Structure 1
Amino acid sequence: MGSHQHHLHAGEDLKEAAKVQLTEAGEQWTGMREAVFEALSGFDRPASAYDIAEAVSEAQGRRVAANSVYRILDLFVASNLAMRVESANAYVANEHPGCLHDCIFLICDSCGHTTHIDDDQVTGGVRQAASSTGFAPKRPVIEVRGTCGDCS
């Protein structure tokens, strides 16, 4: 099978790994970026830019605009610090930001919990099938909707 293990980060360790990844990519780890990452990684489900803006606004005691959060989230996705759940227009923190893979999301329709798994064999097959038609895939995202173990 094409799956493999990662060193998953959590809490302060995750924030430090994200900071290292972003600065190694030549970007700055600003106070606002840190606040957005802390808010994003604090959610137990995919969070929208509006959810994150609200959490940051509450933590900082001042209003933070969702469009500012969107720009930071775009940077986080491009830097592999976050992944976008396309069908929900929401984001999850990447618990292994130093490792780049195509996304496979398992999304529970009952509770909204989203699990990210890596299987290079599956996503490689998708890339190969797309390439065989002359299509140049940039970033395959596979989303599987159903019911998680806790809800079934």
Structure 2
Amino acid sequence: MVHVHHSHEGDSLAGAAASTMVRSGEQWTAMRAAVFDALASFDKPASAYDIADKVSQAQGRRVAANSVYRILDLFVSANLARRVESANAYVANDHPDCLHDCIFLICDHCGQATHIDDDKLSSGVRAAARQAGFSPDRPVIEVRGRCGDCEAG
């Protein structure tokens, strides 16, 4: 079965994130919008501290990383963001209206993380976990190596 994503960027991404959050029964507050905008502005996975710094600069007041962590946890549960487990960092999900398991390709040289969707692979991981008597809630697959740009350079 072929699944086509409608990827968002810029204002379209912020609008899709806000709509997804409201549909999940949560409010889209000014602080949540600021955190999401900061997260979406990074071209690599960003830590809560990176995001807190960016929001603090934009607002001219200190925003605590603990507050950002709580918002990021909410974003992950609402499918607005993905957590790169090995880096304790986050990326904005450019198609928040589609739910897939995470498969990240992480470049050890430049830090870039590419998120791909392969339901066949992740469903195999889920099946293997169930066969071992384990109930998989959120499979995350991370492949570390070199991206095409770094490999070529």
Question: In which range does the TM-score fall when normalised by the shorter chain?
Answer: over 0.9
The whole-number CA distance in structure 2 between the counterparts of 1:65 and 1:59 is 14
Letter in 2 for 1:71: R
SS in 1 for 2:74: helix
Q: For residue 5 of structure 1, report the CA deviation from its aligned partner.
A: 2.9
- Are the counterparts in 2 of residues 22 and 28 from structure 1 also a CA contact under 8 Å? yes
Q: For residue 4 of structure 1, report the CA deviation from its aligned partner.
A: 3.7
Q: For residue 86 of structure 1, report the CA deviation from its aligned partner.
A: 0.1
Q: For residue 3 of structure 1, report the CA deviation from its aligned partner.
A: 6.7
Report the equivalent of 1:63.
62
- Are the counterparts in 2 of residues 39 and 56 from structure 1 also a CA contact under 8 Å? yes
Report the equivalent of 1:102.
101
Letter in 1 for 2:93: N
Q: Among all aligned residue pairs of Structure 1 and Structure 2, give the percentage whose two residues are the same amino acid.
A: 70
Q: For residue 142 of structure 1, report the CA deviation from its aligned partner.
A: 0.1
SS in 1 for 2:149: coil
2:132 aligned with 1:133:
yes
TM-score (ref. length: structure 2): 0.97
Structure 2: 5+ residue stretches without partners: none
2:54 aligned with 1:22:
no
Q: Which runs of 4+ in 1 moved over 2 A?
A: 2-5
2:11 aligned with 1:12:
yes
- Are the counterparts in 2 of residues 4 and 119 from structure 1 also a CA contact under 8 Å? no
Q: For residue 83 of structure 1, report the CA deviation from its aligned partner.
A: 0.4
Letter in 1 for 2:39: L
Structure 1: 5+ residue stretches without partners: none
Root-mean-square deviation (CA), in Å? 0.9
Alpha carbons of structure 1 residues 3 and 149: separation in structure 2 relative to 1, 3 Å: farther
Q: For residue 42 of structure 1, report the CA deviation from its aligned partner.
A: 0.2
Aligned length: 151
Report the equivalent of 2:111.
112
